Amino acid sequence: MHIYDSVQKTKLPFKSIVPHKASIYICGPTVYDDSHLGHARSSLSFDLLARTLKALNYEVIVAKNFTDIDDKIIKKVHETGQSLKELTSHYINVYRQEMRALGVKDADIEPKATESLEAMESMIQGLIDKDIAYVVNSGDVYFDTAKDENYGSISHQVVADEENQSRVEHNTEKRNPKDFALWKACPANEDICFETSFSKGRPGWHLECSAMIEKHFEGTNEYSIDIHGGGADLLFPHHENEAAQSRCATGHELSKYWMHNGFVNINGEKMSKSLGNSFFIKDALKVYDGEVLRNYLISIHYRNDFNFNEEDLLNSKKRLDKLYRLKKRVTPTKSSKPNIPFQKAIMTAMSDDLNISVALATIDEMISNANDKLDENPKDKGLKKETLANIEFLAELLGFGGKEPFSYFQIGIDAVTKNKIESLIIARNEAKKAKDYEKSDAVRDEISAMGISIMDTADGTLWEKL
């Protein structure tokens, strides 16, 4: 397995800190709003990573956090009148459902910030004791970046004169403009806050992840985890700060490898909350099946920017349709073992920093070969069994192709419509038998008008929803 490390900016062979085990931590969502396609892509990217490592016989532990306390959440609590718990658990549940709809496997550990306050407090206290962190009059606790000589080694952002360059207004109590909050004291009129030895307040965003990683992973004396993942926008300052805190708190590096996924753009523009052009997963799922959406979102390498548009989505759906048509041809049958060269080719591609394009090309080739052979010998049982095994292998590794093929082509069709289609097909076949092609074509037009495509095969007339 080779993965691209964003810190060293090069592809590196993956050597886990404990042999045959891989620990992965992914920065999850802040739960105050619905998730958008960017969250989906990030999740999908690391889902693919975890699945690939599992297929390579690693024992994989994935942790993905929920940031369930921060200013935006507090603001929304006050706006809606809901309790903190009501609000955050709602969005956590929605997130989980949406991720499942996209075929993302649940993380093994899903820590919440509010359930990790002790770990945070002790990490902060430890940094204060070492004089790496300091408490200011307001009660805020800041990290003194000047105390960490490796600060900047993650993102390579060397901000020499940040005070002049930055557009941020700095708290004048900070020792250094680069210093960032580990803990934010709450205003007197704020009741959503937590008591600690240094002040009543809430955790800083960067600190949460560091504390949760230390809480849930054992690590070694070199690293806490193998891979830390997240969106490309988190590299700086979020991951830089995480790394600094952890380095100073534990005496070793936080993560051996850092991976960052690219953005999802809509109309060539970055999708973000502040731009207000978010495409929410819930809205996408109203129009497209979760598996189709997954297949599309993973079809472009995770580090590239992703330009979402319907034409490309339909293109990728066509490839998935072909896979399911092949599955239909080999159903029903019992699977045997996947074809070894095929399996190897897919694993080689995915082991190369998740080279999905090569994997997809390999799948297209497998489909083409299988169809070709089935054209020659439709009753080739051995081929059918192997083909089904190939598809099942893909379903496990890439998370698509696992559905029963006939139902795949009937997604969104209710029983009444289904009956109507089937009776029309019978009517058409009767007309065909009588060689009344004018009538049979008219019936076909009627079926097409319903958005259904039909195809005459040796096994009878099959239909698909377009």
Residues that constitute the known binding site for ATP:
273
The C-alpha torsion from 212 through 215 and 219 to 221, rounded to 10°, is 100
Under the binding rule (CB under 7 A), the answer on residue 391 touching RNA is no
The whole-angstrom separation of Cα 306 and Cα 296 is: 10
- Residue 82 or 309: the one with the smaller Cβ distance to RNA is 309
Query: Nearest-CA neighbor of 291 among 392, 401, 368?
Result: 401
Under the binding rule (CB under 7 A), the answer on residue 456 touching RNA is yes
Single residue of 17, 264, 394, 413 touching RNA by CB under 7 A = 264
Minimum distance between the CB of residue 287 and RNA, rounded to whole angstroms? 19
Q: What residues between 311 and 370 interact with RNA by CB under 7 A?
A: 311-312, 315, 318-319, 321-322, 325, 352, 355, 357-358, 360-361, 364-365, 367-368
Q: What residues between 181 and 220 interact with RNA by CB under 7 A?
A: 205
Q: What residues between 100 and 139 interact with RNA by CB under 7 A?
A: none
Total Cβ atoms within 10 A of residue 268: 8
Query: Nearest-CA neighbor of 213 among 24, 21, 3?
Result: 24
Binding positions for Zn(2+): 27, 209, 238, 242
Under the binding rule (CB under 7 A), the answer on residue 446 touching RNA is no
The whole-angstrom separation of Cα 417 and Cα 439 is: 21
- Binding residues for RNA, rule CB under 7 A, total 85
- Residue 157 or 333: the one with the smaller Cβ distance to RNA is 157
The whole-angstrom separation of Cα 287 and Cα 291 is: 12
Query: Nearest-CA neighbor of 143 among 242, 27, 253, 258?
Result: 242
- Residue 125 or 237: the one with the smaller Cβ distance to RNA is 237
Contact 387, 400 (CB under 8 A): no
- Residue 322 or 420: the one with the smaller Cβ distance to RNA is 322
- Residue 18 or 436: the one with the smaller Cβ distance to RNA is 436
Single residue of 110, 162, 289, 392 touching RNA by CB under 7 A = 162
The C-alpha torsion from 184 through 205 and 128 to 215, rounded to 10°, is 130
Place of tokens 């996408």: 284
* DSSP state for residue 235 in the 8-state scheme: I
Minimum distance between the CB of residue 93 and RNA, rounded to whole angstroms? 17
* DSSP state for residue 276 in the 8-state scheme: T
- The gap between the terminal CA atoms of the chain, to the nearest Å, is 38
Contact 355, 349 (CB under 8 A): yes
Under the binding rule (CB under 7 A), the answer on residue 454 touching RNA is yes
> Cα-flanking dihedrals φ and ψ of residue 266, to 5°?
-115, 125
Minimum distance between the CB of residue 197 and RNA, rounded to whole angstroms? 25
Beta-carbon contacts of 13 under 8 Å, excluding residues fewer than 6 positions away, are: 1, 2
- Residue 230 or 290: the one with the smaller Cβ distance to RNA is 230
Q: What residues between 361 and 380 interact with RNA by CB under 7 A?
A: 361, 364-365, 367-368, 371-372, 374-375
Under the binding rule (CB under 7 A), the answer on residue 230 touching RNA is yes
Q: What residues between 29 and 68 interact with RNA by CB under 7 A?
A: 29-30, 36, 38-39, 41-42, 67
Under the binding rule (CB under 7 A), the answer on residue 276 touching RNA is no
In this structure, which amino acid lies at residue 355? N
Beta-carbon contacts of 289 under 8 Å, excluding residues fewer than 6 positions away, are: 411, 412
Minimum distance between the CB of residue 221 and RNA, rounded to whole angstroms? 28
Under the binding rule (CB under 7 A), the answer on residue 433 touching RNA is no
Options 96-104, 121-129, 228-236, 412-420: segment touching RNA (CB under 7 A): 228-236
The whole-angstrom separation of Cα 220 and Cα 252 is: 9
The whole-angstrom separation of Cα 433 and Cα 446 is: 18
Q: What residues between 238 and 257 interact with RNA by CB under 7 A?
A: 238
- Residue 17 or 360: the one with the smaller Cβ distance to RNA is 360
- Residue 86 or 456: the one with the smaller Cβ distance to RNA is 456
Binding positions: 27, 209, 238, 242, 273
- Residue 203 or 290: the one with the smaller Cβ distance to RNA is 203
